[in-house]
Structure 1
């Protein structure tokens, strides 16, 4: 069941746009190519063509992008905007149903507050056009995630990315054993984590094989994972645990789409590559728990060298506004080791690679004809700390323009960004 089906179906409708040609920019297409003095054409919500200065712009509104850069829209694979919205108060803490070690029955979208000012900040400051909202990581099985288009809407259904598969949040390591062990119940150890997980999967397999059954919301989600319709996103830090999780996935008949945080992924890059599992990581967060102690800033570069899928994620209302800078930090760490990490390659860490791990790469994540016109025009090199989005299009609609106060979306609950609130 996709977000376009079922009781909470997507009602997303793209905003109106005009046929647009971005001319003269350096273009990073998200798939590893760079075009100098490039041209990007899009209309009717889709990319029409990407190429050089010889592309015809007849019938398009032409934007002179000389001296600027164009990328696909930025995608954050790990966000809690909306279910841990701003202001950060107890009344808004809706991301963790921390009442049982396994809660596959809960859906993150039922906590998302569309008016979270974090959405418009991510759009304006970070060029974020799509994002996955996950439950928190207190539980071994935290529930379903939802993928959103970063557009203003009154309801979460109005933001749901059309035809995007659901995700399923899992977690291993310290979180669940701390939360539930402190309550004197299982799991209180890492071996307890795996025992609870395996028994829950076995129960789901029995449910899937039983035609005479009552409806069970938790097991419906797990069966969706077993059928390959729902993608697993697993919070995991230590390399040894990631290897164990992949073994468990093989035993139970599902696959992990991405390990999130994955600070030790560099130790098993070959295994991750062989199993086609992405690592969604920070550039340089480490040491805040024992399981994060062995994180290194070269993580992304070493994974890339091993042929594994690299994604830079935020897990933060602040870092989502500067994922481009996080990529640049990870790239610089690799280059200090002597690795060749071209700019056009690492842009994929926040465009095509997260789209792939979220199951939406056929629709977005790169500038290719027929894909959604999710496009960012940067006022300079996006891998520079001095650059920021100048204009952002989602499905070909101009939803942010730094030079036009009327194109600066603001939540009803915006807390006073400089320059906002002055539109007459």
Structure 2
């Protein structure tokens, strides 16, 4: 009996020891597994990492130049949204428009006041379609940086990465055309040419120093002759208009798949396209023919995005009702047509017919010289309509080069019209701004006087011009 108890006690002790050893072994194994997990996690954690998508990169460093509180009184004021005020007052301070009104508008004492009877005031002129900085002056091959013509779809490139801030064209657009903001687009060789960037037209050492704060990006697209000619001549797709649409649609489908795949490897081009699909990036589509514009609008509905603006759009007059119903602007020339087959049906009355239909009209340049006279281009388009009996008020023609481009570029809540609280981007003209004889007398950007025709030192001159004999001489 005693022996049985002894054996039983020994067996119990042995079982407890085995259990303890098991617990130790289990703990050791668990520790080993934890260590393996930590090691695996450490292996997965990158040593280097880029800024996550969606966070600001190449962010604007723009800061307004110093300004003083200023009032302009006695001028005819076009507010940019179709309004006209005779003997008006524009008061700006702190970089913003404070008040716009008639002669009884209060003006604080001890501020700069410009008496301007017989003169005119408008918002700063905005060019929705420019290549300044990407096709800089002088126009040599070394400055040809607007088309990445190596693939029919290059949504991964950004126009801002080609911008040369020292392009003399910026200062000329300011001084001769009163241009205070402009959108720089890639060229039209590709179906998807890349992102656009909106700039404030101020001197700066870097592109970021010009970058318009708060302006959405655009995606430059192109249809028609250019992509099919560029790539068809290389024996590549697309070589036809149906090829254009097929490549576009396939590329959008791939972007939709990318957006829905949380495991997808980061892709810069698809990031841009997803930005469009989310409504964060605006589509600016180079397109001439009416039938192609209609097809593109259908493709946009199929893929779930919206076209902001058709650029060049010489046949917009044929589908003014469709453009109005789809809230799509047309950025057009006054009289450029016939230089290739798809521009053959361009007419001088294009803008006037669109205005009559209630569609959004924008006059654009696409040219380093034309940007210096957008006011005159607006007058030409206005007069072409008048010859057909379409009487477009001067205040509406001014809207074509101020508020309407701002709307199409997604910055109309910030600029484009003379309204309280908006950026003080203002031009004082020495005469009727729609006259060929008138020039900007003074130009303010965010309330800072950036150009004064009576003060040569107020004319911005690039370092490049300073190095050229006879260019930019300031005495």
- TM-score bucket (shorter structure): over 0.9
Give 3-state SS (helix, strand or coil) of 2:271's partner: helix
Cα shift at 1:340: 1.6
Matches within 5 A, 1:168-187: 168-187=219-238
The corresponding residue for 2:73 is 23
Cα shift at 1:195: 0.1
Cα shift at 1:414: 2.2
Cα shift at 1:417: 10
The corresponding residue for 2:127 is 76
Cα shift at 1:422: 2.6
Matches within 5 A, 1:226-265: 226-265=277-316
**Deviations for 1:52-104, whole angstroms, at most 9, x for unmatched residues?**
11011123311011110000000000000000000111011000000000000
> In structure 2, what is the Cα distance between the partners aligned to 1:75 and 1:418?
29
Give 3-state SS (helix, strand or coil) of 1:371's partner: coil
Q: Are 2:374 and 1:323 equivalent residues in the alignment?
A: yes
Give 3-state SS (helix, strand or coil) of 2:128's partner: strand
Q: Are 2:472 and 1:420 equivalent residues in the alignment?
A: yes
Structure 1 unaligned runs (5+)? Answer: none
Q: Please say which structure displays the higher CA radius of gyration.
A: 2
Describe the shift of the 1:272–1:418 C-alpha distance in structure 2 as closer, same or farther (beyond 3 A).
farther
Give 3-state SS (helix, strand or coil) of 1:350's partner: coil
Describe the shift of the 1:259–1:182 C-alpha distance in structure 2 as closer, same or farther (beyond 3 A).
same
Structure 2 unaligned runs (5+)? Answer: 1-50
Q: Are 2:182 and 1:131 equivalent residues in the alignment?
A: yes
Give 3-state SS (helix, strand or coil) of 1:40's partner: strand
Give 3-state SS (helix, strand or coil) of 2:193's partner: strand
The corresponding residue for 1:114 is 165
Q: CA RMSD in A?
A: 1.3
Describe the shift of the 1:419–1:200 C-alpha distance in structure 2 as closer, same or farther (beyond 3 A).
closer
Give 3-state SS (helix, strand or coil) of 1:347's partner: helix
> In structure 1, what is the Cα distance between the partners aligned to 2:338 and 2:201?
32
CA contact (8 A) 2:351 2:361 kept: yes
Give 3-state SS (helix, strand or coil) of 1:114's partner: coil
Q: Are 2:359 and 1:300 equivalent residues in the alignment?
A: no
Cα shift at 1:22: 0.2
> In structure 2, what is the Cα distance between the partners aligned to 1:236 and 1:262?
5
Describe the shift of the 1:289–1:145 C-alpha distance in structure 2 as closer, same or farther (beyond 3 A).
same
Q: Are 2:59 and 1:9 equivalent residues in the alignment?
A: yes
The corresponding residue for 1:346 is 397
How high is the TM-score relative to the length of structure 2? 0.87
| Higher fraction of helix | 2
Cα shift at 1:7: 2.1
Q: Which one of 256, 267, 272 corresponds to residue 216 of structure 1?
A: 267
The corresponding residue for 1:385 is 436
> In structure 1, what is the Cα distance between the partners aligned to 2:425 and 2:87?
20
Q: Are 2:95 and 1:48 equivalent residues in the alignment?
A: no
The corresponding residue for 2:83 is 33
CA contact (8 A) 2:457 2:474 kept: no
Give 3-state SS (helix, strand or coil) of 1:146's partner: strand
The corresponding residue for 2:454 is 403
Q: Are 2:147 and 1:101 equivalent residues in the alignment?
A: no
CA contact (8 A) 2:135 2:146 kept: yes
Give 3-state SS (helix, strand or coil) of 1:37's partner: strand
> In structure 2, what is the Cα distance between the partners aligned to 1:34 and 1:412?
40
**Deviations for 1:136-185, whole angstroms, at most 9, x for unmatched residues?**
00000000000000000000000000000000000000000000000001
Matches within 5 A, 1:134-145: 134-145=185-196
> In structure 2, what is the Cα distance between the partners aligned to 1:58 and 1:93?
50
Give 3-state SS (helix, strand or coil) of 1:260's partner: strand
Cα shift at 1:420: 3.4
Cα shift at 1:5: 5.3
> In structure 2, what is the Cα distance between the partners aligned to 1:13 and 1:422?
25
How high is the TM-score relative to the length of structure 1? 0.98
> In structure 2, what is the Cα distance between the partners aligned to 1:186 and 1:359?
33
> In structure 1, what is the Cα distance between the partners aligned to 2:364 and 2:293?
18
Cα shift at 1:26: 0.3
The corresponding residue for 1:361 is 412
**Deviations for 1:348-406, whole angstroms, at most 9, x for unmatched residues?**
00000000000000000000000000000000000100000000000000000000011
Q: Which one of 296, 319, 335 corresponds to residue 284 of structure 1?
A: 335
Give 3-state SS (helix, strand or coil) of 1:413's partner: helix
> In structure 1, what is the Cα distance between the partners aligned to 2:240 and 2:364?
28
Which stretch of structure 1 is more off in the superposition, 216-225 or 60-69? 60-69
> In structure 2, what is the Cα distance between the partners aligned to 1:78 and 1:56?
38
